[in-house]
Amino acid sequence: MTRDRLLILKRVLPVLVIATLAGGAAEKSAIPDIEHWRKAFARPDHTPAPADNPTTPEKVKLGAALFEDTRLSGAGNVSCSSCHQAELSFSDGIDRHPGLDDQPLDRRTPPLWNMAWGLSFFWDGRAASLESQALGPIEHQREMGGDLKRALEALASDPQMRASFAKAFPEDPSITRDNLLKALAAFERTLVSPETRFDRWVKGDDAVLEADELAGLSLFMGKGGCVACHQGWRFTDEAFHDIGLPSTDKGRGPVLNMKAADHAFKTPSLRERVWSAPYMHDGSLATFEDVVDHYAKGVVKRPTLSADLPQVIDLSEKERAQLVAFLSTLSSDDPPRPASLPPKIMAFGAPAQAVAATTASQKDRRFSPSAILLKVGEALRILNDDTRTHNVRVDSAEMNFNSDGQNPGDTVTLGFDKPGHYDIICGIHPEMRLSVDVASAP
């Protein structure tokens, strides 16, 4: 081989290597040092909790109840879940939630997945623990406008709350500020995002990711430079970076009183992000495509820009699509529901005293049994033991009922006070029909 040819080869080879990495080859070899990355992205085997606030079922149950409790707010009409809605990945689906003054809050409501592993909290990291973070929104004048002292008094006058606190904190059975914040934090630590297709790839299932997704992974770790900040199984380095968003919010800088940290915000985790748009601290980017476009061509150049941000991210349209395809593998295929949330029970009629004559299943998109005989005063319990959302609906002169969305695990109980024939359908799958004949009591 001549020297000239060697020189040409020397120039061409790196290009070929990059092309292979980004080009979508589905083979193992497309990802360099695959076993290293599998270890780097492996999920932990347990959820951490601080020594002074171990997670117990009683504490979690209390925390879940407090999370929904509007008595923590000043006007008694806002709870943590007003912004952190379970259905929306414990966020709110909009750029910035309206505050109590009806003006948008300064920053986006962050989703609450995997907070147990967080090192600091809020977009600017001003809280050092989940316990201290929990107090922030409660007392913030534009968020919940609460007065914790008064809220504790209200809770203390509720016998059920007193019992719940006593169960959760047997060593200190009182309704105190610390116990309230510990219970809220304990609940939040149970919000762990489920395994996704990417986790199956990490475990060694090579076939689970498609070629474009693998190509996106290569870009994520290579040309895109994303892994510089989005590290580990949660895809965050827990650090603060200015990524060049055109926002005047100074972020971390004022917290540290350090100009070099101006415009820097905590690297958000990329887990379950398909279900928690829009993105960034100000919710200014609506889609994954917008996020990738920002890095490729929207970065505002300024002295505080993160050193971890590549100077130039030159991605073709196809490569951007591949990156987006990969990001989607970090989310569940369906909006996830944490195991710590109990199933819902919806009721109609007078089932409290009634005896459940039978239970109907909704497995595989059919009511089973499909015809039921009851007596007046009896109740029917309809359990969603299927994998999809169902609904229980009756449209008749004697009964008009619509259960709303019935997620897997939820139960609807119908009490029948009048004799007659009732046709029950699933409004979502109207081909699912259940016939109920209610006979007069003897």
Partner 1 sequence: MKKRKIWAGLSTAVLVAAPVASQAATVPSYPQTTVETKADQQLLKLAQAHQGHGAAPAAGGEGDEGGAAGENLAPQLHLYRGIEMIRGHLIVGNELIEAGRWADALPHFLHPEEEIYASLRNDLKAFNIAPFQAALKSLSQTLKAKNKDAYTRARAALDERLAAAETAVRAKEANGTYFTLETALEVLQQAADEYAEAIEKNRIANVVEYQDARGFVFEADRLVGTVMQDASGKNADAAKALKASLDELKAIFPAVTPPKQPVKDASDFLSTVAKFELQLGNFR
Kindly list the residues in this chain that would bind partner 1 in the complex (CB under 8 A): 85-88, 92-95, 98, 274-275, 277-278, 286-287, 321, 328, 331, 334-335, 365-366, 370-371, 388-389, 391, 393, 395, 402-405, 407, 423, 425, 427-433, 435
In this structure, which amino acid lies at residue 145?
G
Nearer to partner 1, 250 or 433 (CB): 433
Q: Tell me the closest approach of the beta carbon of residue 397 to partner 1, in angstroms.
A: 10
Nearer to partner 1, 264 or 426 (CB): 426
Alpha carbon distances (Å) from 280 to 111, 194, 197, 272: 11, 22, 24, 14
**Between residues 24 and 225, which has the closer beta carbon with respect to partner 1?**
24
- The arrangement of strands across the sheet holding 393-395 comes to 371-375, 433-439, 420-425, 393-395, 400-402
Q: Which 3 state secondary structure label does DSSP give 338?
A: coil
Q: How far is the CB of 427 from partner 1 (least distance, A)?
A: 4
Smallest separation (angstroms) from partner 1 to the CB of 357? 19
Q: How far apart are CA 438 and CA 442, in angstroms?
A: 12
Q: How far is the CB of 274 from partner 1 (least distance, A)?
A: 5
Please, which residue, 70 or 328, has the CB nearer to partner 1? 328
Compute the least distance from the CB of residue 124 to partner 1, in Å. Answer: 24
What is the distance between the alpha carbons of residues 195 and 230, in angstroms, rounded to a whole number? Answer: 18
| Closest to partner 1 by CB, 218 or 331 | 331
User: Residue 126 CB, nearest distance to partner 1 (Å)?
Assistant: 26
Q: How many CB atoms lie within 10 A of CB 43?
A: 17
DSSP helix/strand/coil, 59: helix
* Angle of the 130-139 helix axis to the 148-156 helix axis, nearest 10: 100
Query: How far, in Å, CA of 413 to CA of 394, rounded?
Result: 12
Chain centroid offset of residue 318 CA: 28
Specify the residue, 98 or 204, whose C-beta has the smaller distance to partner 1.
98
Report the nearest approach of partner 1 to the CB of residue 109 (Å). 10
For 20, 90, 209, 211, the CA distances from 223, given in Å and listed in that order, are: 12, 32, 19, 17
Nearer to partner 1, 88 or 100 (CB): 88
CA gap 145, 65 in Å, rounded: 19
Mention every residue, 6+ apart, whose C-beta is less than 8 A from residue 361.
Answer: 367, 368, 383, 385
The residue among 17 and 373 lying less far from partner 1, judged by its C-beta, is 373
For partner 1, which is the closer residue by CB, 125 or 137?
Answer: 137
Contact criterion met (CB below 8 Å) for 196 and 330: yes
Q: Which of 227, 215, 222 is nearest to 22 (CA)?
A: 215
For residue 332 the two structure tokens come to: 């569940």
R_g over Cα of the chain:
27
Q: Are 66 and 187 in contact (CB under 8 A)?
A: yes
Alpha carbons 405 and 337: distance in angstroms, whole number? 14
Minimum distance from residue 288 beta carbon to partner 1 (Å): 9
Q: Write phi, then psi, for 182 (nearest 5 degrees).
A: -65, -40
Closest contact distance (angstroms) between CB of 363 and partner 1 is 12
For partner 1, the closer of residues 128 and 286 by Cβ is 286
- In the complex, what is the shortest distance from the CB of residue 371 to partner 1, in angstroms, rounded to a whole number? 6
| Residue 255 CB, nearest approach to partner 1 (Å) | 29
Q: How far apart are CA 426 and CA 433, in angstroms?
A: 7
β 371-375/433-439 pair status: parallel
| Smaller CB separation from partner 1, 203 or 318 | 318
